Every structure is written in C-alpha cells, then in structure tokens.
Amino acid sequence: MGILKCLGLPRHQVFTARKYLNVSSFSCLHTAQNSSVEARSQDEDVVIALGSNVGNRVHNFKEALKMMKKSGIQVTRHACLYETAPAYITDQPCFINSAVRAVTKLGPHELLAALKRIEKDLGRTDGIRYGPRPIDLDILFYGKYKVRSDILNIPHERIWERPFVIAPLMDLLGSAIDNDTVASWHAFSSHSGGLYELWEKLGGESLIGQEGICRVMPVANGLLDWSLRTSVMGILNLTPDSFSDGGNFQSVESAVSQVRLMISEGADIIDIGAQSTRPKASRISVEEELSRLIPVLEAVKSMPEVEGKLISVDTFYSDVASEAVSRGAHLINDVSAGQLDPNMFKVIADLDVPYVAMHMRGDPCTMQSSENLKYDDVCKEVSSELYSRVRQAELSGIPAWRIIIDPGIGFSKKTEDNLDILTGLPAIRAEIAKSSFAISRAPILIGPSRKRFLGDICSRPSAVERDPATIASITAGVLAGANIVRVHNVKDNCDAVKLCDAILKHKHSAMKSRQ
C-alpha cells in the first residue's frame, strides 16, 4: 500500500483502498462472439482508449466521440490528451492518445463491433499492425468482467506495458477508490497497490515530458505543453468601469496600441474583456458587449504581431463566446464557470476551444456578500465547488483536455482567503484529485493582478500602485504551481515568471540528480 501513501491519502483511506483491493471480485467470461452474455439490461462502466496519428488527429477524436454517443456509448469522463512517440514501429508520425470512461448497455462483443464500425467510418483500413492509423479504439475495461474469446480480450493484453495507455487510464480515476467496479480494475493489474503501483513502476508522473510522452492541450490548430513554461496572459479591458484601467482602451486605436505593447513585453495570450466583472458591476447586454468587443477583436486579429499568440475572450455569455470564436478567438475565459448562462457548456462543447472555468459564488453584484464570503476551509470548498462545475462541463461534452481551472482570486473571497489560495494551489489539486486525476492535472490560471486585497495589505488604495504587490503574488502563485498568470503589467511580471520557471527547473534538475 506504499503507492497509496505516496498519493497523500489519509490513513483511513489507505485501509479502505486495501479493503477494496483485497476483497474486489470480478467475473471471467470465456465466450463466443454471439454468446447470450451480449443481452444486457443494465449499464456497464467501460474504459475505451483512443489513439490517432494520421490526418487531423484532434478532429478524429472529436468525430469518434460523436459516433460513440450515437452508438449507445455515453461518455462520462475524459482523460488528459497526450502526444506520444510511436511504439513498436517507430518510423511513423507521433500519436495523440487519451481515454474515456463511458456507460453502455452494449455487450462486450457488441461494443467491439460498434468501435470497429467507427474506425472504418473514420478511414481506418487493415494495414500494418501498430502502423499509422486515423483512429484506434481499444476496450481496456468492461465492467467487472474479464472477457476471453477468439476476437476479444479484456483487459487488453498489452495494457500493462504501455505508459501511453496507463497515463490516460490513471486520469480517469481518482485517489479515492469509490466503487467495486473501479476496485476490480485495480485488481486486474495484479499489483497489491493496484493501478497506482503499476503506474509508479512504469515511471509515473516522472515520465510526463520525458520518454516521448507529453501532456498537451489542443489550441489554435496546435498542441500546447503547458509544463514547459508559465504563460503570461495580458489583460485588455474595453470597459468604461473596470477597477484598474476602465476607460483607457475603449477606442480601437488605443486597444491595438496596448496589445502591441503587451506583445512586445512578452505576452503569450491577450485576454479581451468587454464586460466589467468588478464587485458591484452592472451587467450589460449581449448586444452591448459585442458592440464593444468585435471591432477590437477584428483589429487585433489583423495585427502581424499576434501571429503565434493566443487571443482569449473574457465573457460569461454563450452568444458572445460563439461570435468571438467565429471571429478568431482561440479560447474563452468564463468567470462564472457556466453559472450565468445555462447554454455556455453546450456552446463551448461545439466550439472546440479551451475553456477557463473560474470559481465564483453568485455574480459580480453579489459575490462579496457576507453569505458568499463564508468558508470553513477555502481551498477545500473552492476545489469542491469548482470541480462540480467542471464535472457538469465535462458531462455536457467539454473534454478534460480542453479545460483550464481558475480558483477565482478576488471573486467571493476575503483577503485571507486569497492568500490561502495563492499558497494552497497544491492542496486544491490534491482535493480535486480525490475525484479526478485528469481535472487535477489541468492548467491552473491565477489572476491576482492589482486586486483590492493587495492594496489592503500594502496600503495602496490606487490600483495602478499595486504592481509590485502583483509581482510578489504572481511569484508566490507560480512557485505553488500556477501555469498561466493574468496580469495588467506584462513586462515586470514576465521577468518574475522567467525567474520562477528557472527556479523550478533548477529544483527539478537537482532532485533528479539525487535520485
């Protein structure tokens, strides 16, 4: 049970996990293809691995998931996305790999037949084993059953030797083993510590970024490996009433000039917002927000300097998100995590762009009410509430590999809450990991820039005087594990981020040399 202890489980959970792994039972099906076992009346929890290295790989995944839904396979969880070097036959393009959990009433051979039809419809033909393919769909687990027949073996016979399969499989689990079906999957591994121990023996998280396997996010027709360095998101407010720079960039010319400056200072992402979300801000209509946003967005997209940069739009309206993406925005930043527009998740699922889900209680008008500021354990409660929103997003069709999480510094938080979050990002990840390793491994965005709590601590009533405090808070956040920082002052915060990245890289190298 050493692996469970390494995951940071409390002692009582380690004993619970041992109980599951020791008493878990499963059934063996030695069956012919047309066996009566196929007639099923209840849903079975299944795990399906996905791979692709031909054509538009991410699009192939999207189409496969749509076809699975039409075939009676309802996806409930997504793993992260990995780009991996080819195995066995190395003279071929890199793969992307992932996995999903789903429920289905299809029997194991019916499920196999459905997946084979999807592969064929997406252009897969009989070719070299382990060779190039537009899509590869393998059944890793089927309920609590082991299946053995002439054409199907579950668990998949080579699952245990493949890091590019085990990595996404682990994403579909949590550090808490919460039911007998999941316990049986651990038991199939034949390790006393279950799949956790198997993953560690293969190399575990130390493999990611090494050995030809990288965790990535599809964005702007490319793949972003957010572990390589911290990304800096420059803020462009088009509003007359934002707390820091309201009214400064309302004309297209002034907005373009500010974007040019932020890019020259090192911004990786430009986040354009046309609706104020400061405390007590009045909500404007979709039409007014679009009238502010679209002229600037179109002008920014036409700038030569934005080549290779990402454009984010800060909105909680699904109609604004849809229009922004149609005009070239690469990601959507939603301070409400879908709470202020019931159509947001469905729209984002169809748009195929990364989605920032931020924690906030209430709305900008009510978020700082006494009721919304009550926490017993802010990191634990933010984790739980944010994961609940992300879970709904995932069930609505937004895969985990397109989700960025933001704990919402300054939104329905007191000063001490903000400080707890800045230093508690590892605790937030660990809490989410109890339910989903995939979501716990999503990029974390933080946005403390010039916020009031910094002014309260440093006695700086004017927002523009809070840049030194912002740099300090960004430094604390990056050293605690933030992957994206949202700032007004790009130049100085870029320097802070570069130093933090160098410190973290040096620390990692030193630890590796001691092993």
Element (H, E) at 311: strand 310-314
**Phi, psi values for residue 89, rounded to 5°:** -110, 105
Alpha-carbon distance 466 to 449, whole Å?
8
| Pairing, β 403-406 against β 213-219 | unpaired
| Pairing, β 95-104 against β 73-78 | antiparallel
Alpha-carbon distance 481 to 473, whole Å?
12
Alpha-carbon distance 319 to 485, whole Å?
26
The alpha-carbon radius of gyration of the chain (Å, integer) is 24
The backbone region for 414, taken as left when phi is positive above 0, alpha when psi lies in -120 to 50, beta otherwise, is beta
Alpha-carbon distance 383 to 378, whole Å?
8
Q: Which residues, at least 6 apart from 441, have a Cβ–Cβ distance to it below 8 Å?
A: 80, 171, 215, 429
Around Cβ 252, how many Cβ atoms within 10 Å? 15
301 counts as catalytic: no
Q: Which of 361, 451, 452, 466 is catalytic?
A: 451
CA distances from 494 to 95, 229, 408 (A): 33, 11, 21
Q: What are the structure tokens assigned to 350, written together?
A: 């169809």
505 counts as catalytic: no
Question: Which residues are known catalytic residues?
Answer: 451, 486
